[in-house]
Amino acid sequence: MKIELPDAEATTRLGHAIAPLLAPGDSLLLYGPLGMGKSTLARGLIRALTTPDEDVPSPTFTLLQFYESDPPVAHFDLYRLTRPEEAFEIGLDEALDEGCAVIEWPERLGEAPERFLGPDRLAIEISEHGDGRVATVSGAGRWEDLIDHVRF
């Protein structure tokens, strides 16, 4: 599925649309070059699960931020990982045991990120499209069917 994202507000709305479908054990994988809107999408999703004014900084330097919500959500930025196993060291597996994970730069998990993640994954690749962006959305596990329920 492809979703046009003409501006940051549209990217935020996509995060809002995904939020109510998340369940414990789910992974949301956000792919795309720097500046494409991965953090904007994550911020929209987290604010939909918490409060509209929740402080949602990019975890580029801390690598991880936890948010108390239903389900609990952990926001990972793996850009600075040097090896895939570091994801376990910062608690990726524990986050999925208790809630869901939003993961920027999942390619840092190596060629087979599913070995670190549960079966239920939603992948979104954001790329340039004209003056805006386009999100290419795909799912694994229960997200194969849920994609059709994302109302944007």
Domain ranges of the chain: 2-149
Give pTM, 2 decimals: 0.91
Closest CA to 48 of 27, 21, 26, 66: 21
pLDDT digits (tens, 9 = 90+) for 76-106: 988 888 888 888 788 788 888 889 999 999 9
Considering the domain 2-149 in this protein, what is its CATH number? 3.40.50.300
Question: Which pLDDT score, from 0 to 100, does residue 112 have?
Answer: 66
Q: β-strands 132-140, 27-31: how paired? A: unpaired
